[in-house]
Structure 1
Amino acid sequence: MHDAGSAYAQPAPLGRGLYLLTPDENDTARLLERTKPVIGFARLLQYRNKQADPALARKQMDVLLPLCREHGVPLLANDDWRLAQASGAQGAHLGEDDGGLETARQALGPGAIIGASCYDSLDHAAAAAAAGASYLAFGACFPSPTKPRARRATPALLREAKRFGLPVVAIGGITPDNARIVVDAGADLVAVISGVFDAPDPAAAAQAYLHAFTGTQAQ
Structure 2
Amino acid sequence: MPPASFPHAQARGVYLITPDETDTARLLAQVQPLLGAGVPWLQYRNKLADAALRLEQATALQGLCEQAGVALVINDDAALATAVGAAGVHLGEDDGDIAAARALLGPDAIVGASCYDQLALAQSAVTAGASYVAFGAFFPSRTKANTRHADAALLHGAAMLGVPRVAIGGLTPDNAAPIIAAGADLIAVISGVFQAPDPRAALRAYLDCFQD
TM bracket (short chain):
over 0.9
1:121-161 CA distance string (max 9 Å, x none)? 01110100101111000000110010121001111111111
Given the two structures, how large is their TM-score scaled by the length of structure 1?
Answer: 0.92
Cα offset for 1:37? 1.4
| C-alpha contact 1:17 1:213 (8 A) present in aligned 2 | yes
The 5-angstrom pairing of residues 16-35 of structure 1 reads 16-35=12-31
Aligned to 1:42, the other structure's residue is in SS state coil
Q: Is the 8 A contact 1:170 1:191 kept in 2?
A: yes
Residues 66-122 of structure 1 deviation map (CA, whole Å, 9 limit, x = unaligned): 110111100010011111011111100000011110000001000110100000001
Any conservation in 1 of the 2:167–2:186 contact (CA below 8 Å)? Answer: yes
Match of 2:164 in 1: 167
Counterpart AA for 1:30: R
SS of 1:125's partner is: helix
Contact 2:9–2:163 (CA under 8 A) maintained in structure 1: no
Aligned-residue CA RMSD (Å)? 1.2
Structure 1 residue 14, shift from structure 2 partner: 4.0
Instruction: Look up the equivalent residue of 1:73 and give its one-letter code.
Output: V
Contact 2:6 2:131 in 1 (8 A): no
Instruction: Kindly state the Cα deviation for residue 11 of structure 1 after the two structures are TM-superposed.
Output: 2.8
> Which structure 1 residue ranges, 4+ long, deviate > 3 Å from structure 2?
none
Q: Is the 8 A contact 2:8 2:110 kept in 1?
A: no
Contact 1:141–1:171 (Cα < 8 Å) also in 2 = yes
Does residue 1:114 correspond to 2:108, yes or no?
Answer: no
Give the gaps of 5 or more residues in structure 1.
1-8
- For 2:194, the aligned partner's letter is F
| Residues 24 and 98 (structure 1), Cα distance of their counterparts in 2 relative to 1, 3 Å cut | same
CA gap 1:140/1:12 in 2 versus in 1, 3 angstroms: closer
Instruction: Note if contact 1:24-1:50 (Cα within 8 Å) is conserved in structure 2.
Output: yes
What is aligned with 1:203? 200
Task: Tell me, yes or no, if the aligned pair for 1:14 and 1:43 is still in contact at 8 Å.
Answer: no
Give me the whole-angstrom Cα distance separating, in 2, the residues matched to 1:56 and 1:70: 22
Matching residue of 1:13: 9
Which residue of 2 is the match for residue 53 of structure 1? 50
Q: What is the TM-score of this pair, normalised by structure 2?
A: 0.95
Which residue number corresponds to residue 133 of structure 1?
Answer: 130
2:204 and 2:34 map into 1 onto residues whose CA distance is 9
SS at match of 2:16: strand
Give the letter aligned to residue 172 of structure 1.
G
What's 1:36 paired with? Answer: 32
Aligned with 1:154 (options 138, 151, 161):
151
Identity value in percent:
58
- Is the 1:136–1:168 contact (alpha carbons within 8 Å) kept by the matching residues of 2? yes
The 2-side partners of 1:79 and 1:121 are apart by: 19
